[in-house]
């Protein structure tokens, strides 16, 4: 990648980062798109530059191979020329010799025989002459073979050169294509940089226009402010005159105001004293109410114990009456069985006395008409005993306005909340809190609510609106939630100036209703949950 392109891109990024303002949001998006396109083109340009380098290297390698082949062809051509020259010389010598023989007839042969003294010398000269002709012919054939070999080698080299030239042409075409693509990429990158500069310039113009509009608005506001200041100055002058006039009245009224202030202070102190006394009386009243409630609870429990003792006493008396009746019936049965025993047996008196108890065990305890008299007293005490145990605790909370139950633990059921949604349209509670809200809303028909900042936090607190003042519906909901405090993950409950917690608190142990004293939570049940 050219260094100038990188520097220009960085400068454009820096300039865009400086001049981006909210007024040119559309221009900013265009600049961002141009920069992304420039980045993509730069990456493509790097790849094209690599392709150009590879094409150049391939072309140079092909040219080097062709040049080496040309050198080999030149060397072969020189060898072929030398062979052609040698062949021509051999041919010339052979043709000259043959021409001499042809033109002179037997003269050449006679020249060989000139000066021959004997036949042996003649034979030697003929053999030498024949060998000379054969040697010349063999040399011509050898030169021909060398020439043919060199010609074949040259043809092969020429073919290789043609192939190499084709490779060189293809490499040149590839190089030209790579150079063309690189040039196009450079031109496109240049155009993109120009467009980017134009976009940045347009952004600057838009921001400048916005600044000019803002300047005109500020100028108008300055003019308006100057006019307002002028009017306020006139009004201040008028007010200063009025204040001078009022100062004299104020000086006269100041003494009266001071006296009124002293009187107001005295009244405020008196009101504070009265408020403190009222608060003390209210606290005493609350403590008295708590004492009365606790006394009423103790009286209720004492009355319940008395009723239970009376029922137990009545049951004991009834049992005594039943025992006396059974004993009387047994005595009557013994009296009825004695004459029968005397008439049946003539045994001694002692033996007859021993048989009487046996007769009493075998005979019915009483006649049939005495059965209703025995069954009615047996059933009546049981009903009298069970009635106080069932009705007294149920009627006491409704009459006194106290909680229907004061459990020592959080037992009382384990409602299945898995079928309820983990979110509620009234407020974004925690999932387990939302399930409890759905359950109580469906079971009692009340509206759950909460708000941001609700103690301890909005998503861990619910207010069940029951209306009225310490209504029975509120107590039903409060006691139901208290009975299932662990299953609902309850932290504490507040209703009707009472407090219930799953932890020991300052007024009592855990899982117990205690006096709260906040003077609130009369028309709704407040429930705080654990995370």
State pLDDT tens for residues 480-494.
999 999 999 999 999
Model confidence at 125, pLDDT cuts 50, 70, 90, reads low
pLDDT digits (tens, 9 = 90+) for 215-268: 889 889 889 888 989 998 999 999 999 988 889 888 888 888 888 888 888 888
Q: Is the pLDDT of residue 402 over 70?
A: no
Please report the pLDDT score of residue 99 as a whole number: 61
Find the mean pLDDT for residues 450-476.
Answer: 92
Nearest to 56 by CA among 66, 64, 46: 64
- As to burial, measured by CB atoms within 10 angstroms (0-12 exposed, 13-18 middle, 19+ buried), residue 437 is buried
CA angle 90, 95, 97 (to 5 degrees): 100
Distance CA(235)–CA(291), nearest Å, equals 67
Of 412 and 88, more confident:
88
Q: Is the pLDDT of residue 425 over 70?
A: yes
Find the mean pLDDT for residues 53-76.
Answer: 83
Radius of gyration of the chain (CA): 66
Find the mean pLDDT for residues 197-207.
Answer: 78
Q: Is the pLDDT of residue 78 over 90?
A: no
Q: Is the pLDDT of residue 477 over 50?
A: yes
Please report the pLDDT score of residue 379 as a whole number: 37
Model confidence at 7, pLDDT cuts 50, 70, 90, reads very low
Name 461's bridge partners.
528
pLDDT digits (tens, 9 = 90+) for 148-185: 888 888 788 888 878 878 888 888 888 888 888 888 88
- Characterize the bridge pairing of strands 524-529 and 461-465: antiparallel
The model's pTM: 0.29
Nearest to 144 by CA among 91, 72, 65, 214: 91
- Characterize the bridge pairing of strands 498-501 and 461-465: unpaired
Distance CA(220)–CA(212), nearest Å, equals 12
Q: Is the pLDDT of residue 295 over 80?
A: no
Domain boundaries, the chain: 431-529
Of 87 and 524, more confident:
524
Model confidence at 100, pLDDT cuts 50, 70, 90, reads low
Residues 384, 309: contact at Cβ < 8 Å? Answer: no
Please report the pLDDT score of residue 101 as a whole number: 53
Q: Is the pLDDT of residue 68 over 70?
A: yes
36-50, 88-102, 302-316, 412-426: segment of lowest average pLDDT: 88-102
Model confidence at 21, pLDDT cuts 50, 70, 90, reads very low
59-63, 199-203, 384-388: segment of lowest average pLDDT: 384-388
* CA-to-CA separations, 134 to 85, 169, 382, 463, 500, in angstroms, rounded: 20, 52, 163, 136, 142
Model confidence at 530, pLDDT cuts 50, 70, 90, reads very high
Please report the pLDDT score of residue 46 as a whole number: 86
Please report the pLDDT score of residue 383 as a whole number: 32
Model confidence at 424, pLDDT cuts 50, 70, 90, reads very high
28-42, 62-76, 97-111: segment of lowest average pLDDT: 97-111
Please report the pLDDT score of residue 98 as a whole number: 59
Residue 343, C-beta contacts closer than 8 angstroms, at least 6 positions apart: none
Number of other residues whose CB lies within 10 A of the CB of residue 234:
10
Name 526's bridge partners.
463, 494
Please report the pLDDT score of residue 202 as a whole number: 80
pLDDT above 90 as % of the chain: 19
Find the mean pLDDT for residues 37-42.
Answer: 85
Residues 24, 207: contact at Cβ < 8 Å? Answer: yes
Distance CA(194)–CA(40), nearest Å, equals 16
Please report the pLDDT score of residue 110 as a whole number: 54
Q: Find how far residue 520's CA is from the centre of its chain.
A: 40
Number of other residues whose CB lies within 10 A of the CB of residue 259:
10
Distance CA(80)–CA(401), nearest Å, equals 135
Find the mean pLDDT for residues 202-214.
Answer: 82
Structure tokens at 387: 């009635």
Please report the pLDDT score of residue 77 as a whole number: 81
Nearest to 426 by CA among 480, 464, 390: 464
Structure tokens at 66: 């062709």
Length of the chain as a residue count: 531
The mean predicted confidence, pLDDT, of the chain is: 75
Of 147 and 38, more confident:
38
pLDDT digits (tens, 9 = 90+) for 338-389: 554 444 334 333 333 333 343 333 333 333 333 333 333 333 333 333 333 3
* CA-to-CA separations, 125 to 97, 99, 101, 129, 137, in angstroms, rounded: 16, 20, 16, 6, 19
Q: Is the pLDDT of residue 396 over 90?
A: no
Tell me the residue ranges of DSSP E strands in 341-457.
447-449
Of 15 and 208, more confident:
208
């Amino acid at each position: 990648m050219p260094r100038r392109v990188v520097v220009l891109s960085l400068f454009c990024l820096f300039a865009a980062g400086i001049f981006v303002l909210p007024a040119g949001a559309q221009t900013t998006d265009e600049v961002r798109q141009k920069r992304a396109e420039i980045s993509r083109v730069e990456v493509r340009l790097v790849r094209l530059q690599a392709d150009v380098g590879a094409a150049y290297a391939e072309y140079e390698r092909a040219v080097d191979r062709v040049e080496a082949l040309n050198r080999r062809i030149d060397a072969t051509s020189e060898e072929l020329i030398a062979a052609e020259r040698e062949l021509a010389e051999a041919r010339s010598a052979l043709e000259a010799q043959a021409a001499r023989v042809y033109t002179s007839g037997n003269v050449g042969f006679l020249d060989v025989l000139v000066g021959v003294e004997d036949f042996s010398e003649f034979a030697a000269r003929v053999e030498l002459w024949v060998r000379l002709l054969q040697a010349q012919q063999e040399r011509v054939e050898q030169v021909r073979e060398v020439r043919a070999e060199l010609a074949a080698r040259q043809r092969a080299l020429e073919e290789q050169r043609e192939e190499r030239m084709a490779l060189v042409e293809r490499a040149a075409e590839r190089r030209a294509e790579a150079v063309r693509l690189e040039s196009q990429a450079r031109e496109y990158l240049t155009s993109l940089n120009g467009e980017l500069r134009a976009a940045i310039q347009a952004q600057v113009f838009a921001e400048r226009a916005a600044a000019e509009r803002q300047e005109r608005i500020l100028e108008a506001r300055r003019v308006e402010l100057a006019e307002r200041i002028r009017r306020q100055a006139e009004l201040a002058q008028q007010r200063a005159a009025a204040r001078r006039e009022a100062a004299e009245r104020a000086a006269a009224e100041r003494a009266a105001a001071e006296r009124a202030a002293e009187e107001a202070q005295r009244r405020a102190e008196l009101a504070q004293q009265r408020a403190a006394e009222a608060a003390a009386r209210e606290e005493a009243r609350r403590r008295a109410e708590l004492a009365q409630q606790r006394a009423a609870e103790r009286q209720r429990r004492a009355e319940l114990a008395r009723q239970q003792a009376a029922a137990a006493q009545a049951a004991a008396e009834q049992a005594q009456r039943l025992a006396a009746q059974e004993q009387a019936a047994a005595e009557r049965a013994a009296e009825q069985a004695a004459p029968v025993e005397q008439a049946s047996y003539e045994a001694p008196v002692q033996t007859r006395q021993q048989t009487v108890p046996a007769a009493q065990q075998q005979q019915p305890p009483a006649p049939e008409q005495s059965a209703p008299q025995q069954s009615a007293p047996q059933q009546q005490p049981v009903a009298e005993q069970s009635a106080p145990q069932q009705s007294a605790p149920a009627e006491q909370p409704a009459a006194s306005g106290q909680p229907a139950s004061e459990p020592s633990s959080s037992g009382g059921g384990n409602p299945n909340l898995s079928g309820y949604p983990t979110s509620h349209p009234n407020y974004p509670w925690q999932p387990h809190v939302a399930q409890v809200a759905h359950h109580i809303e469906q079971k009692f028909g009340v509206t759950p609510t909460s708000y941001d900042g609700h103690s301890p936090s909005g998503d861990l607190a619910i207010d069940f609106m029951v209306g009225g003042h310490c209504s029975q519906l509120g107590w039903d909901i409060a006691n139901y939630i208290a009975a299932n405090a662990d299953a609902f993950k309850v932290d504490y409950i507040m209703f009707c100036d009472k407090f219930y917690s799953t932890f020991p608190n300052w007024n009592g142990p855990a899982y117990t209703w205690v006096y709260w004293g906040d003077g609130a939570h009369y028309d709704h049940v407040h429930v705080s949950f654990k995370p």
